[in-house]
Amino acid sequence: MSASTNSSRPDIGPLSEPRHDWTRSDAEAIYNLPFSDLIFQAQSVHRANFDPNHIETASLLSIKTGGCPEDCGYCSQSAHYDTDVKATKLMDHQAVLDTARRARDNGASRFCMAAAWRNPKDRDLDRVCDMVSAVKDLGMETCVTLGMLAPAQAHRLRDAGLDFYNHNVDTSPEFYGHIITTRTMQDRIDTLAHARDAGLKICCGGIIGMGEQVDDRVGMLILLANLPSHPESVPINMWNKVKGVPVNDTADRPDPIALVRMVALARIMMPKSVVRLSAGRQYMTDELQALCFVAGASSIFIGDVLLTTKNPQTVRDAELLDRLGIRSRLDDVRVAAMPSQAAE
């Protein structure tokens, strides 16, 4: 799908009014706008709904790593592939709480906990609920991703103080079967519905660069934008190279401009959702990240590691946001770390 030379602007409707009836022709017309027109529209929607000079900062911790029975073809934690990731037990409660406290003190406002399960067992969910409550008491927003949920489990997490449930759709319905066979797209949609029905906010996005086409990337956003309620957070992940997984054979890192177009389209189609630059930022230049912020991304994960893959160092993020004049909780950390100046 190539960008159009037609400078006419598709009608995107009121800048603050979410739609749930997006057609492929609607989405493609926006995606294919001349770049300056696309960025203008995305920034206009962004300014109508968010502070364009503020970035949300979140931290992600793997509380149970590896040994997952799912066969997601991109994942280092799948038990189906030899990826050198060793399976671990669920982390100790105090270790999770200590990590959350450090994340807060290093500038994170949301703490996300991930466990490599197909679905949580009730005995494990008891421990996760205790972790959620303890992190909530630190004054942080809470998020978990635990695989598929039953309705009762979603309510238990809500009662423990959980704010967000993350469950990505990963890609378009058409490409989904090429990367996962052990869980259907409908399984994912059902879990999102259980979380939503329990009163949880939703964090749901996908991964680009796994060998899918631009049509698939657009199709993923159409799927999300046509849910009964838009996800409150939409993470856009760029696939990280992982040893031993099938996606290695098809992966193709997206053109930087294509990534910005993806962010802009997500911003326009889901005007009140927070669009997050997630995995893959270590491959992005400062200039590319800045373009993504202009296109409507307003959240990042901070910390050196995301689950099992690398992430830019927090000091680099703080310096970049400072150069761009973008505020975040990293400002407080940077100021606190500065030596006090003697009065003149």
Q: What is the DSSP string of 192-218?
A: HHHHHHTT-EEE--EEE-SS--HHHHH
Domain of 144, CATH number, reads: 3.20.20.70
Catalytically active residues are: 68, 72, 75, 112, 143, 203, 276
Of 224, 231, 204, 267, the residue nearest 52 (C-alpha): 267
Cβ atoms 207, 72 nearer than 8 A:
no
DSSP string, 218-257: HHHHHHHHTSSS--SEEEEEEPPP-TT-GGGGT--PPPHH
pLDDT digits (tens, 9 = 90+) for 58-77: 999 999 998 899 988 888 88
Which residue's structure tokens are 């703080």? 318
**Which residues make Cβ contacts (< 8 Å) with residue 236, sequence separation at least 6?**
205, 206, 208, 259, 262, 263, 266, 275, 276, 277, 278, 297
Domain count, the chain: 1
Question: Does residue 314 lie within any of the structural domains?
Answer: yes
Question: Does residue 25 lie within any of the structural domains?
Answer: no
User: What pLDDT, on the 0 to 100 scale, is given for residue 31?
Assistant: 97
User: What pLDDT, on the 0 to 100 scale, is given for residue 344?
Assistant: 31
Cβ atoms 301, 313 nearer than 8 A:
no
Instruction: Give the C-alpha distances (Å, rounded to integers) separating 334 from 82, 107, 287.
Output: 40, 9, 22
Task: With a cut of 70, list the residues of the chain below it in pLDDT.
Answer: 1-9, 11-16, 304-312, 332-344
Question: Does residue 22 lie within any of the structural domains?
Answer: no
Question: Does residue 2 lie within any of the structural domains?
Answer: no
User: What pLDDT, on the 0 to 100 scale, is given for residue 86?
Assistant: 85
* Count of positions (residues) in the chain: 344
User: What pLDDT, on the 0 to 100 scale, is given for residue 340?
Assistant: 43
User: What pLDDT, on the 0 to 100 scale, is given for residue 339?
Assistant: 46
Which secondary-structure segment (H or E) carries 113? strand 110-115
Residue 203 domain boundaries:
32-330
User: What pLDDT, on the 0 to 100 scale, is given for residue 76?
Assistant: 86
Cβ atoms 3, 32 nearer than 8 A:
yes
User: What pLDDT, on the 0 to 100 scale, is given for residue 244?
Assistant: 87
pTM attached to this predicted model: 0.90
| Spatial distance between the Cα atoms of 140 and 155, rounded to a whole number of angstroms | 20
User: What pLDDT, on the 0 to 100 scale, is given for residue 138?
Assistant: 95
User: What pLDDT, on the 0 to 100 scale, is given for residue 251?
Assistant: 79
On the CB side of 105, how many CA atoms lie within 13 Å of its CA? Answer: 7
Question: Does residue 118 lie within any of the structural domains?
Answer: yes
Question: Does residue 141 lie within any of the structural domains?
Answer: yes
Question: Does residue 7 lie within any of the structural domains?
Answer: no
Question: Does residue 23 lie within any of the structural domains?
Answer: no
User: What pLDDT, on the 0 to 100 scale, is given for residue 314?
Assistant: 77
